[in-house]
Amino acid sequence: MLEVHAANEKLILPKSIITIGAFDGVHRGHQKVIRETVRESAIEGVQSVVYTFDPPPRAYFQDAHILTSVKEKIQRFKKLGVDYVVIAPFDESYTKRSPESFINELKRLNPKSIRVGEDFRFGKSREGDVDLLKKYFLVQPIHTVCCTKGTRISSTRIRELILEGDIQQTEPLLGW
Ligand SMILES: Cc1cc2nc3c(=O)[nH]c(=O)nc-3n(C[C@H](O)[C@H](O)[C@H](O)COP(=O)(O)O)c2cc1C
Ligand SMILES: Nc1ncnc2c1ncn2[C@@H]1O[C@H](COP(=O)(O)OP(=O)(O)OP(=O)(O)O)[C@@H](O)[C@H]1O
């Protein structure tokens, strides 16, 4: 059964496997990251957690078109077998938090490992990176999922295709 928590509820877990990101569109790249998180959590016998943002940071900073509502993202996380979703309200005060403050928040979830891409950034002005995260947690990189043309699947690419009116091409990238 999926549990949804707002970040300010300060959820505490004894052990977990976490993935973090905007996950806008819950495309095939996201699905792989989440499936690996769920698979590892089952092997370890601990809870799987998706920590996500509302709105997606790119929608907040760059006014990007939002592909999936929070409600729809939650439904897709549920289908992928996630145990917990933590939703951070991505607003002005949240964006000003330091990387260390975010790390302290993650500590409450006691992650055995964190699954994010090598280019993951966090904290004000994107100051925190994977090297900083690795000082506190085991961080396991995810192999990039590409489309048949060989380019990385991303929410940005899907937004571009929608703007070009090429909905058909978004389907193999979204995988739903
Ligand atoms: C506490 C916190 C503060 C953030 N502040 C900023 C910021 O000031 N500027 C920015 O561009 N992104 C900021 N971000 C967003 C990150 O750059 C990044 O988009 C987010 O961690 C999601 O990762 P993803 O883009 O790989 O999905 C912040 C993220 C967190 C967790
Ligand atoms: N194609 C992909 N293959 C593997 N992992 C991916 C892929 N796309 C995103 N991820 C991972 O999923 C998590 C969430 O990514 P994020 O929401 O930033 O996706 P994105 O598609 O890169 O978004 P945007 O284009 O808006 O920056 C991150 O850990 C990221 O590294």
Q: How far is the CA of 129 from the centre of ligand 1 (A)?
A: 10
Contacts of 162-169 spanning 24+ positions with Cβ under 8 A = 162/65, 162/67, 163/65
Q: How many domains does the chain have?
A: 1
Up-side HSE of residue 47: CA atoms within 13 Å toward CB?
A: 20
The residue whose CA is least distant from atom 21 of ligand 1 is 122
Any residues with Cβ below 6 Å from ligand 1, and which?
A: 21-22, 57, 61, 94-95, 97, 102, 120-126
| Within-domain flag for 157 | no
- Determine if ligand 2 sits within 6 Å of the CB of residue 142: yes
Q: 146-164 pLDDT, tens per residue?
A: 998 899 999 999 999 999 9
Domain containing residue 91: CATH number: 3.40.50.620
What pTM was computed for the model? 0.97
Answer yes or no: is pLDDT of 142 > 90.
no
Confidence of residue 143 (pLDDT cuts 50, 70, 90): confident
- Determine if ligand 2 sits within 6 Å of the CB of residue 140: no
Determine the structural domain holding residue 50 and report its residue range.
3-145
